[in-house]
Amino acid sequence: MSATTPQAVTDRLGRPVRDLRISVMDTCNYRCPYCMPAEKFDDNYQFLRPHQRLSFDEIVAIAEAFAYHGVNKLRLTGGEPLLRKNLPQLVQRLNAIDGIEDIALTTNGLLLSRQLPDLVAAGLKRVTISLDSLDAEQYRRLSGNRGDLHTVLRAIDTAVASPLQSVKVNCVIQRGVNEQQVLPILERFRHTPVVVRFIEFMDVGNKNDWHREQVITAAEILEVIQAHWPLLPLKPNYRGEVASRYAYADGGGEIGFITSISQPFCGDCSRARLSADGKVYTCLFSSRGHDLRPLLRAGADAKGSHSTGADSLKEPRPLSDSTVAALRQAVADIWARRTDRYSEKRSELRQSRRNKTSNKIEMYVIGG
């Protein structure tokens, strides 16, 4: 694909698109109750069939179209992204896209240690590992009896020792579940390069039985922390940064909060999301995605590639110029129509959607 001058696009609220989160895999080796509760995602659950997932060629083509319109950061997620075969090959190709400055990965960490060297060599810059408990028994329960705390802690150590630019830990604290874990988790990572970020428990999807009372807000967690370790607020690194950042006053490092419930940040939201089957979602709480696969596969058939859904290690064949142009136009149109601000209108929207079923996309489809 030829190098071209990017054409910035903004949505109806004047927000640019800067960040694309790519779900490379819809399945997961965990069953966290707040995301894929085991009783609802059982052995009979119908995940995507391999041919329904985007191939690497297709993912790269879509990422290029987004980069053309201003995206400079990519995050690979899932489901569990490390279940996708040959992921370093995808990272390498995404890293070669004009305008892409940063590639990150969000993972539960179980499969990370072995794959990390190849991912780093391919150009992965940052990793976020999810960790909700340091109690081995509780950790296992919170993974739907599939995870292993010590393997994940080893993976975090491996990531810290690697040349990655940043290692973060995502932690979801729920009332009545793991609030006693705030201080132990911070204690473990204070005075290390690992930045812990507390994500408020969100009403993503329709299957996690979310209730407002289960949410422990950032303010509540801050109070607990400040009683132990005074914190100083930090300025955002850039406009649209998701986390509110704090530093330990004693120099113990940095932590962050993602306050989707208590302090929504839709005003600066510049994130788009791509599902493993090729739909673009303009909000974490969208009800509907925009399917780019028909466009891609029509173009590919004309050219004789991009149609298998397999992760071919062969040299990719370029899309036709008309498909590239159509894909860029589709991305621009999707973004230009965007008006999402779910978190800011949560109460109102929850009320109006109350009687409908399956009206929000599930977290495992678009990856947070």
| Interaction between residue 32 and ligand SF4 (CB under 6 A) | yes
User: What are the DSSP E strand ranges found in 156-200?
Assistant: 166-173, 195-200
User: Residue 184 or 230: which CB sits closer to ligand SAM?
Assistant: 184
User: Among 30-38, 210-218, 226-234, 327-335, which window interacts with ligand SF4 (CB under 6 A)?
Assistant: 30-38
Closer to ligand SF4 by Cβ: residue 296 or 361: 361
What is the nearest approach in angstroms of ligand SF4 to the Cβ of residue 26?
9
Q: Is 343 in the site for ligand SF4 (CB under 6 A)?
A: yes
Q: Closest approach of Cβ 80 to ligand SAM, in Å?
A: 4
Q: Which two tokens stand for residue 172?
A: 């979801």
Q: How far is the CB of 348 from ligand SAM (least distance, A)?
A: 20
Give the integer Cα–Cα distance in Å for 317 and 301: 12
Is residue 273 classed as helix, strand or coil in its secondary structure? strand
Residue of closest CB approach to ligand SAM: 368
**Minimum separation from the CB atom of position 276 to ligand SAM (A):** 12
Residue 189 binds ligand SF4 (CB under 6 A): no
Sheet arrangement for strand 73-78? 231-233, 244-248, 254-258, 195-200, 166-173, 126-130, 102-107, 73-78, 19-25, 271-274, 279-281, 290-291
- List residues near ligand SAM by CB under 6 A: 28, 34-35, 77-78, 80, 106-108, 130, 170, 172, 199, 201-202, 204, 208, 363-364, 367-368
Distance between CA atoms of residues 136 and 147, nearest Å: 9
Other Cβ atoms less than 10 A from the Cβ of 202: the count is: 21
153 binds, among ligand SAM, ligand SF4, none (CB under 5 to 8 A by kind): none
Nearest Cα residue to 332 out of 74, 62, 54, 98: 62
CB of 209 to ligand SAM, least distance (A): 10
The yes or no reply on residue 341 touching ligand SF4 (CB under 6 A) is yes
Name the one residue in this structure whose structure tokens are 């705390």: 149
Q: Pick what 201 binds: ligand SAM, ligand SF4, none; C-beta below 5 to 8 Å, kind-dependent.
A: ligand SAM
Q: What is the DSSP letter of 144?
A: T
Q: What does the alpha-carbon distance between residue 224 and residue 185 come to, in Å, rounded to a whole number? A: 13
CA atoms of 20 and 99, how far apart (whole Å):
12
- CB of 70 or CB of 147, closer to ligand SAM: 147
Burial of 45 (0-12, 13-18, 19+ CB in 10 A): exposed
Among 35, 87, 167, 334, binds ligand SF4 (CB under 6 A): 35
Structure tokens at 132: 């909700």
Cβ closer to ligand SAM: 103 or 202? 202
Residues that bind ligand SF4 (CB under 6 A): 28, 30-32, 35-36, 78-80, 108, 130, 260, 265-266, 269, 271, 283-285, 340-343, 364
